[in-house]
Each structure stands twice: as structure tokens, then as C-alpha cells.
Structure 1
């Protein structure tokens, strides 16, 4: 009987002791988990930006500007918890104006448009002095397209035709006008339609236009779609004549659209202009540094978003800058160069 009583008592004692130990240890465990969580929050909080909002002006919804800009915005949200979003626009000219007016915080724009803005030419009444450059990105390739039944083979053949030259206020339109003038063709010599990439592709499918300018990274999604519906022909730009234009418009480069990009059997000689990533000069040095660093730390994600980002490189990010460099970006590049 004594034995039968001792066993339950012993079990109860052991159980009580175990519960007591558990009770004693639980606050400590919770404290460690809370401390770890607080530490994580604190670490995240130290990697924040001075600015609470970061709106990136891009371009048309289907273009590389918007695809790459959206991927970059997601990087900034993830890294800094900033309220970042993209804004679709008519692209370069509109983007620079929005940045100058303080309506957006970062923009993608073509270097020729930025040059005009800094110098106060063409679309800009006076020099703009409140924009700074974060990086030189990738080349925008001038892709002039038509259908094989038009007989248009080179840029000189565009005279007298109905042409989509890009959205009004876009870098594409600036490229188109400048290149046409370089080949002795003015807007008086053609019928001009101001159309976005998607609108130009639709217009060509419907037979309403005979050719169109697309200035973007390769490949352009609207052209890839168009290729499925029409007998697409890429228009060539004579490289010797282009070199004469480059003598006075140094932001242009000679370029070849690789064979197979849009079903083309051979490489197509054309022109290219580098893209710029710009911010307002009010952006703090600290934010400029962090945004530049995050761009290059997360390049793989941008390359996954659009293959044009494959040409973004730390090694060439300062080559051919056309606006004053942001001090935060300069600090980052100087640090990298010293390694």
C-alpha cells in the first residue's frame, strides 16, 4: 500500500518540478525572441532613407523604362521600406520636366534629352540646374520598323511616308526628329503621327502607318508582339552618315541590332543613345549613396525583369554622364574604385 502511494506522489513531484522549470524558462525564451525581433526591426530601421516617398517616372506601360523602373522601385521598397511607385509617362522630355517641377523623385531619360535640358535647348526654354545623375544605364537602340510590302529599306526611304515618331515629349520623338534632320528629312517631308509604342504597333497592324520609330532597350515587347502579326522589316541607318551626325551630336553611337532579335537574318546597322538615371538635386547625399548602392547590389533582379538591364554595369556607370553627378552617387563610385 505504501509502495502504491509513493509512486503517484513521486510522479506528481517530478511533474511539478518540470512545470516549474518550464514556467521559469518561458519568460526568458520570450524575452530572447522579442529581443531578436526588436534587433531585426532596429537593423531594418537603420537602413532607411531620409525621404519617405520615391516616385519613379518611367515611360509607356509596355516599354523597358516601365519594366525596369518597376523592378527598381520594388528593390527600394524591399531594402528601405520607402513608399515607392512608378508613374507611366510620355517618357524622357516629360520625365525631366516632372523631375524639375518636383512632381517625381527619380526618372529614366535619354542622354540627348538630358543634354538639351542642361543646355536649355529644343524642348527646354532655359537651362535646368536642379537635376543630377545617378548612373549611365543601358543603350536605347533606335529601331525603325516597317513591313516588307512598303519597300522601305533605309532611313532615306521614309521621305513622303506616314511615320509614327513616338509619343509627344518622348525621347523617341527627339531621336526621330534629330536623325531625320541629319539625313535631310524634316517633318514637312513626312506625315507625322505621335504615337506610343503600343499605339504604333496597332497602327502598323491596321495599315494606318507605313513605318515607326521605337527607341528602347532590346528587345521591345511591342515589336515582339508586332512581329507575330506582320511581315516585319527593320530599316537600316547608314553608319558613315551617322558618324557625321555624331560629330555634332556626340550622345549618339553606332550600333547593330543583332541577327534574330526580331526574326531578322542579319544584323541591322542603326543608332543608339545611352539612358540616364536622374534625381532632383534636393535628394540628400545619404539617400543618393544608398539608392546607387542598392541599384548595383540588385542588378540581377533588374536583368531578370528585362534583358536590356544586362548592359547596366558598375564599370561604365559614369561613362558619358550628361548631367552633374549626384554627390551620393559619386561617393559610392569613389568607394568602389578604391577597392
Structure 2
């Protein structure tokens, strides 16, 4: 019974590579923890920018589609592929952004089309250009939209931003679908031809239909006039997404002074709208592309007026706000995009890794010391048990078993490799093993003398 009990106390022999094992088991948990934190930070907090993004643009040959094509060329310089999708216009673009099943990252959206839609999940990278509403009508003397009541008005095709804005403006002037006014779903060149032919009495033109050439052509037709929005200031107060634009005398034709006097127009802006998960680095690239495409002066804008951080229907993103205030970061200004992205993410990782490593490095020595000393101190439990039982009326056979147990302990110590810094504890343990052996030997001699 006693022999069986002490055989269970035999210690597992220490492997000669005990020091290496101590180092491994001390540093391995810390290394694994650091790697896990780095992976989580990379995947969740600062992922790499995607190589491909998708923009919903506009109908074929529209300014929206042409603009997206220019963005695509500019982003390609930095190794980013921009997929351009054709659409029916701003309303479909907005619905694609709001639909989680649509793989669209950003879109060109005209102001004023988001009424009634939940757009809080979207953000704006800024306004990029004007799309003025220009109203031509047959006759003269019309200064208010309400004077068009009862006539035939071309307001744009279904799904277009022109139609949405036209209906909003007409409703504000007491003209709604289903009344005496006939609302015709045509726009652009087709609507202009209907006006010239007398098939409609007024047309709402916007965007691609408001070029200098188109407006001059219509103004040269006898009996067709351009509506002067003398109440433009009121419209901009009632509809914050609208701006007031003036056409000064002669801006369309200096030689013939067309228009002969200042014409007041109202215009929404087109915003570059994105989902909230757009990568910050791509946000910078897109705004930079917009500056290159829209920064030049034009008939309706000054040089550098666009892109603008003034967002109308959507909140301006934090990344866009930062870019408009301070521009691109030092890394992205001085390094190629792909290299700047790698360096930026690496620097981003240094903060959490440093925060984790500093306390971990202070903990490592304590863990290592505990592990080395535990390999030494675990023998003391056996020594104490042997000493107590050996001196507590043990038999000669039991003391022989105790001596064998001490031999096992010494053999384990002889095989154990201990760092020099802990040699004192190691030799103290050997002295204590000898002390217990001496006491057992003395007890054996006393019994032999009796």
C-alpha cells in the first residue's frame, strides 16, 4: 500500500531541452495574442482598399456617363478599376445605392430626387457640377411657373432627375398631375423639337439639354422665350438643394447680345454619393478625380468651384471633410497609391501592437521566472512528503522506498538544464535533497545500532 502510494509520487523526468521549452511556452502565448490582434485590426479596423469599385452613372451619351468614364481613366492610373453601370438617371442611381442586393459603391445623384427615401446610410463626397433647370415656352411675358397652368408641358421621362424636379417645382406653383395641365413625359432634344413644332407649350430642360448650342438654337426660333426665374431667391430658400445662377447679358452670344439682359436660373447640383463603407483611400482618389474633371471654369461655374464640400441632400463624409480641409496625406502625396496604402496600414498597426506589446513584454520575464522556478520548486512537495513519512514510524522497507524516490529526484535534477540566473535555487534544492537523504540515513543507522 505504502509502496504504491510513493510510486505515484515519482516525477516525470525533465527533458534536456527544458530551457528551450520554457522560452517557447513563455513567448508563444504572447506571440499568438499579438498576431491575433494584428489580424483583427487589419480585417476589421483598417482593411486594404478594394481594387475594383462600381459606379452607377446615367443613360448612354449623357454627361453622367461621360463623367463616370473620365473618373475611370483617372482611377486606373492608381491601379483601381472603376466599373461604370448605365442607368435611367439619378433616381435609379439612388435606388441602387440603397438596395443592399445591388453591388454599387457610389453614384452620381442630382439634388432633389431623394424625397421620401431613407438616405441616412449614404454619404456625399461633395457636389461636382450644376444641372440647371431651363424652361423654354411659346410666347412672351411669362415670369412665373404658375402662368403655365392649363398648358402642355414636357417635364422629362420617368425615372429622370429632370422629371422629379419639374414635378416638385410645378406643385409648388399649384400645378399637379391630373389637373388641367397636360404633363408630357419627354425631355432633351425630343422635347425641344416638340416645342418648336408646337406639340407642347413649354419644356423643362436640364443637364445635357442646356448646352450653349441648344439654348441658342431655341432662342433663335421666333415665338420661343426663356423663362427668367425672377423668384429664384425664393426657390433657393424653399428648396435648399437649389442654387441661383445668373446668365449675364451676351454670355450665350456676345455679337448678338444673347441674352439681352440677365436671366435668373435655378439649379440643383449633382453630388457624388457613396455608401458609408467606402474606403477612405478611395474617397481621396475619387475627390481628386472630381477636381481634375470639374475644376475648370465653364458657362455656369468659376474655376475651382467644384468639387465642393457643400452637401445638400446627404451628409458630407468625414473623409471628404478632412480631404477638403487638408488634402491628401503625406504618404499618398509622396508615394504611389499601392505603396502608400501598405505603409499607411503598417503605421496604423503600430499603435495597437505597441499598446499590446509594452505590458506583454513586462509580463514575459515574470512568466519565464515563474516557469523556471516552478520546475525547481515542484520537487519540494515530494521532499516534504518523504521527510514527514520517513520520520513518522516508517519501516525499513518503506525507508528503502523513500531512498529510491530520492534517487529519482536526483536523477531528474541531473538531467535538468537550468539557466545560470537561477543556479542558486537549483543548488539549494540539491542541498535539501542531500539533507533529507542524510536524515534518512541517520535514522537507518540508529535502527541498526539498536
TM-score range, shorter chain: 0.5 to 0.7
Whether 1:313 and 2:305 are equivalent positions in the alignment is yes
Whether contact under 8 Å (1:165, 1:195) holds in the other structure is: yes
TM-score by length of 1: 0.68
Q: Secondary structure at the match of 1:113?
A: coil
- For residue 210 of structure 1, report the CA deviation from its aligned partner: 1.9
TM-score by length of 2: 0.53
- For residue 165 of structure 1, report the CA deviation from its aligned partner: 0.8
1:55: which partner in 2? 54
Label 1:207 to 1:61 Cα distance change in 2 as closer, same or farther (>3 A). farther
Structure 1's unaligned 5+ residue stretches are 1-48
Q: Cα RMSD (Å) of the superposition? A: 3.3
| Distance in 1 (alpha carbons) for counterparts of 2:155 and 2:247 | 19
Whether contact under 8 Å (1:201, 1:226) holds in the other structure is: no
Cα deviation per residue 1:162-181 (whole Å; 9 max; x = unaligned)?
11112222221222122212
| Distance in 1 (alpha carbons) for counterparts of 2:209 and 2:303 | 10
| Distance in 1 (alpha carbons) for counterparts of 2:227 and 2:189 | 19
Whether 1:183 and 2:181 are equivalent positions in the alignment is no
Q: Secondary structure at the match of 1:265?
A: coil
| Distance in 1 (alpha carbons) for counterparts of 2:61 and 2:246 | 23
Cα deviation per residue 1:76-115 (whole Å; 9 max; x = unaligned)?
23x223333433433221211122223433222222224x
| Distance in 2 (alpha carbons) for counterparts of 1:217 and 1:191 | 24
| Distance in 1 (alpha carbons) for counterparts of 2:323 and 2:310 | 15
Whether contact under 8 Å (2:216, 2:252) holds in the other structure is: no
Q: Secondary structure at the match of 1:167?
A: coil
Label 1:63 to 1:311 Cα distance change in 2 as closer, same or farther (>3 A). farther
| Distance in 1 (alpha carbons) for counterparts of 2:273 and 2:194 | 32
| Distance in 1 (alpha carbons) for counterparts of 2:304 and 2:188 | 23
1:168: which partner in 2? 158
Alignment of 1:26-175 (within 5 A): 50-77=49-76, 79-101=77-99, 102-114=102-114, 116=115, 121=116, 124=117, 127-147=118-138, 150-151=139-140, 153-154=142-143, 155-175=145-165
2:189: which partner in 1? 198
Whether contact under 8 Å (1:152, 1:158) holds in the other structure is: no
- For residue 324 of structure 1, report the CA deviation from its aligned partner: 2.3
| Distance in 1 (alpha carbons) for counterparts of 2:263 and 2:323 | 37
Whether 1:213 and 2:211 are equivalent positions in the alignment is no
Whether contact under 8 Å (1:56, 1:73) holds in the other structure is: no
- For residue 238 of structure 1, report the CA deviation from its aligned partner: 2.9
Larger Rg: 2
Alignment of 1:220-299 (within 5 A): 220=211, 223-224=214-215, 226-227=217-218, 230-231=221-222, 232-239=224-231, 242-259=232-249, 260-261=251-252, 263-296=258-291, 298-299=292-293
| Distance in 1 (alpha carbons) for counterparts of 2:104 and 2:300 | 24
- For residue 264 of structure 1, report the CA deviation from its aligned partner: 2.8
Larger deviation: 67-76 or 128-137?
A: 67-76
Whether contact under 8 Å (2:111, 2:313) holds in the other structure is: yes
- For residue 213 of structure 1, report the CA deviation from its aligned partner: 0.6
Structure 2's unaligned 5+ residue stretches are 1-47, 331-450
Label 1:284 to 1:95 Cα distance change in 2 as closer, same or farther (>3 A). same
Whether contact under 8 Å (2:188, 2:208) holds in the other structure is: no
| Distance in 2 (alpha carbons) for counterparts of 1:132 and 1:204 | 39
| Distance in 2 (alpha carbons) for counterparts of 1:334 and 1:145 | 40
Label 1:307 to 1:249 Cα distance change in 2 as closer, same or farther (>3 A). closer
| Distance in 1 (alpha carbons) for counterparts of 2:79 and 2:216 | 36
| Distance in 2 (alpha carbons) for counterparts of 1:288 and 1:221 | 33
| Distance in 1 (alpha carbons) for counterparts of 2:302 and 2:233 | 26
